[in-house]
Structure 1
Amino acid sequence: MSVDGPVLVLTCADDPTSDVVLAELNNRGVPVFRCDPADVLTGRLEVSAHFGTSGARSYLRTDARTVDLSSVRSVYYRRPSSYLAPTTMSERDGRFAKEQAKHGMAGIVASVRGRWVNHIWRAVEAEFKPTQLIAAREAGFVVPPTIITNRVDDVRDFTKEQGSIVYKPLQNTDLAGSDGTAAAIWVDEVEASKLDAGLGLTLHLFQRRVDKVADLRVTVIGNEIFSVRLESPHIDWRRDYDQVRYSVVDTPVDIAAQCRRYLDKFGLLFGAFDFGLTGDGSWVWYECNTGGQWHWLELETGLPMTAALADLLEITR
């Protein structure tokens, strides 16, 4: 690790959030090397990693520049693309190439020393909803009763116990509608009577609906915590951003401590936490996204989030 070396930014080409961080780092005179690890399959990224008695030496090269990974001061791991095999390959060869690239690149970049926001392995561990639910309860958050199942009868029993329930995807998946446009599955209320045997084909997450008056997004960036109240007519405020109203709020001391305990459990420096705010003032935990969006909140509220993230990546001592 070099405190004068570049910041390595691992993300896809279309990532406006990374763009603003890179612009801030450039304004500070901090060198940056940006690439998408999946480009190793397109020829836009060349890699050489040497191992042996003389130690390890790894280099990444794009058309614009080359980086020695031993010189990297910090890593911003944002939203790399999925590994896709070249369409010119057969299905068998493509599957082989994809797996070789994925495992090789992950191992090479994961060996980079220095500060990560967030480290690839830590981010993967914290991605799974069941793991999150356990960690959230251990951190002290109020967690809604939740069931993950493929049994219709168990969901119906859960509804009898909890009353109104909602469905949440276990993982955000790239989906497309019949016209080819991007589609999304929103958090929404579920009528157990309408569930059928098709539920048994995979796992589903159901949760007691929180009787909320607003939503809260708490973004933790290193030692900085930024909390924003979001008011929307929808259960899932993401359904229509134009109807969301934003206001900056103070983070309760207990919530701040719980957020830090949660991130410390996974070894994370960044987390985007979602909560529901109930009428009695309780903050009910929903989830934590280790690569969550945050820049739009800065645009809406003026909170200095870009600067906080640039500080974290620039100052590694």
Structure 2
Amino acid sequence: MNHQGRSVLVLTNVSDVTADAVLRLLAERRVPVVRLDPGTDLHAGASLTAAYRTGSQRGTLRTSSRELDLTAVRSVWVRRPSPYQGPPHLDGQERRFAASQAFWGTGGVLASLPGAHYVNHPWHNRAAEHKPAQLATAQRCGFHVPDTLITDNADEAREFTARQADGAVYKPVWNTPYSVSGHAQAVWVREVRDHEITEAVTACPHMFQARVPKAFDTRLTAVGGRLFAARIDSPELDWRHRQDRMRCSPIDVPTPVAESVARYLAAFQLTFGAFDFAVTTEGTWYFLECNPNGQWAWQPTGITNGIALAIADQLERVHDQ
């Protein structure tokens, strides 16, 4: 097959400035790129067609400026596409129906392009987003994991938090949108004591974790076999809460941690992963979570540039089936 001119398909929203850093590199390399936000663009003039028959598959994506043969896509970067919400001129049941059909139809087509390399495949992203699956996989891959309880039983939650020598924290199992009086709220990691836990826990699963007596946090971004780690010093329990108060600097990755990262990525079939660790004064790295599609452009310039280059390299490569 002639790979000259095969395009990179980037699935992301129009406001995603992080993607621009990688797209500039691909432009410098003269790699053709098509950018699409399927949740919105396909209601604003773009169209998608796919056809299947015994022994062959074909498809076409048409935008205002391009016509893309879907069998000639070299790679797909699933960055931050908008949710499928249906055409804005519809409402109620009709819009919900259209949104569901788009999720399963458009999403299914874009996740099944023959010969394309995905960073990451959307189905692998979804599988890797579940925190219980993350913790179970982290254990199998050799990471240190804080004692964790996921429960909807208030008595078990109180018993667990009471016996943690260094205290316990609560964190949501998923970052569900939440608002109070119309204002969006973030649910941060917070300390929790046994007497604070009420029967409200029975409404849904809650995640409680032993507090790690950390010296600092680390964000480790993996792109294939390349690792980029930043030490994060912050007075906050959850450094994301007040990022203006944190300091970041590059840090080396211990060999055992690097080996566990490689096993973890392989287990979920991921090319990219944003790992968070709490590091103790003794130098033990405790796995907290891995966002398979985490943000990375907020880190020091050297790390950000390195990640952008590594992603561009992944997207530029040709992966034949």
Shorter-chain TM-score range: over 0.9
Q: Which amino acid aligns with 1:151?
A: N
Tell me, what secondary structure is at the counterpart of 1:51? strand
Tell me, what secondary structure is at the counterpart of 2:82? coil
1:273-293 superposed Cα distances (whole Å, 9 cap, x missing partner): 000010111000000111011
Distance 2:182 2:90 in 1: 27
Distance 2:223 2:78 in 1: 14
Tell me, what secondary structure is at the counterpart of 2:163? helix
Aligned with 2:281 (options 261, 279, 290): 279
| 2:225 alignment counterpart | 223
Structure 1 window deviating more from structure 2 (79-88 vs 108-117): it is: 79-88
1:166 and 2:169 equivalent?
A: yes
Change (3 A) 1:175 1:3: farther
Distance 2:128 2:102 in 1: 23
Give how far 1:302 is off: 6.1
Instruction: Write out aligned runs for 1:65-104 (5 A).
Output: 65-104=66-105
Change (3 A) 1:68 1:258: same
Aligned 8 A contact 2:298 2:304 in 1: no
1:200-229 superposed Cα distances (whole Å, 9 cap, x missing partner): 111111111111010001111112111110
Distance 2:305 2:44 in 1: 39
Aligned 8 A contact 2:249 2:300 in 1: no
Aligned 8 A contact 1:76 1:118 in 2: yes
Change (3 A) 1:299 1:141: same
Distance 2:190 2:45 in 1: 41
Distance 2:135 2:221 in 1: 18
| 1:239 alignment counterpart | 241
1:42-67 superposed Cα distances (whole Å, 9 cap, x missing partner): 23431111122462211112212121
Distance 1:90 1:310 in 2: 39
TM-score, normalised relative to structure 2: 0.93
Aligned length: 316
Structure 1 window deviating more from structure 2 (133-142 vs 306-315): it is: 306-315
Distance 1:2 1:290 in 2: 32
Aligned 8 A contact 1:297 1:303 in 2: no
Tell me, what secondary structure is at the counterpart of 2:169? strand
Give how far 1:301 is off: 5.0
**Structure 2 segments unaligned to the other structure (5+ residues):** none
| 2:315 alignment counterpart | 313
Distance 2:88 2:197 in 1: 39
TM-score, normalised relative to structure 1: 0.94
Change (3 A) 1:245 1:8: same
Distance 2:264 2:291 in 1: 12
Distance 2:216 2:305 in 1: 20
Give how far 1:40 is off: 5.7
Tell me, what secondary structure is at the counterpart of 2:53? coil
Tell me, what secondary structure is at the counterpart of 2:85? coil
| 1:46 alignment counterpart | 47
Give how far 1:115 is off: 1.4
| 1:133 alignment counterpart | 135
| 1:20 alignment counterpart | 21
Aligned 8 A contact 1:13 1:36 in 2: yes
Change (3 A) 1:93 1:289: same
1:172-208 superposed Cα distances (whole Å, 9 cap, x missing partner): 223344353x421111111221221222111111111
| 2:152 alignment counterpart | 150
Distance 1:187 1:261 in 2: 27
| 2:125 alignment counterpart | 123
Give how far 1:131 is off: 0.6
Aligned 8 A contact 2:161 2:208 in 1: no
Aligned with 1:296 (options 295, 298, 313): 298
| 2:264 alignment counterpart | 262
Change (3 A) 1:2 1:99: farther
Distance 1:26 1:274 in 2: 31
